[in-house]
Amino acid sequence: MALTFYWYPQCGTCKKAKKWLDDHNVEYEPVHIVEHPPSKEEIKSLISQSDLPAKKFFNTSGKKYRELGLKDKLPEASEEEMVEWLASDGMLLKRPIATDGKQVTVGFKEDSFENTWT
């Protein structure tokens, strides 16, 4: 099964991840994370498949994250609130996100991609 690859084409990290997938002949379906952000249900599914806490899905260096003051809100927020925020704007999601429906990687670390997608 091909991966679903949520990415933002102007993002340098996303470009590196895409190049890695191309270089390793990994099939994927690219999804523009801002034009077609994952739904609340998809985000919940990604979180549960990843074994990562919901807060790891936030793009903490993004402008939108700072504008909304999420740094101060996240420690007290429920997972439901976090999912709500993440689904509201693709720019809040840490990227790229790759999934095959069973496993999920968030961000790009070459060794993580190597272990998960080859």
Question: Using CA atoms, how far apart are residues 59 and 57, in angstroms rounded to an integer?
Answer: 7
Question: Using CA atoms, how far apart are residues 52 and 106, in angstroms rounded to an integer?
Answer: 9
Distances, alpha carbon 117 to alpha carbons 8, 59, 75, 82, 101, in Å: 20, 22, 32, 27, 12
Cis status of the peptide bond prior to 38, with omega within 30 of 0: no
Does the domain formed by 3-117 have CATH 3.40.30.10? yes
Q: What is the pLDDT of residues 16-70, one digit of tens each?
A: 999 999 999 999 999 999 999 999 999 999 999 998 999 999 999 999 999 999 9
Q: What is the pLDDT of residues 64-91, one digit of tens each?
A: 999 999 999 999 999 999 999 999 999 9
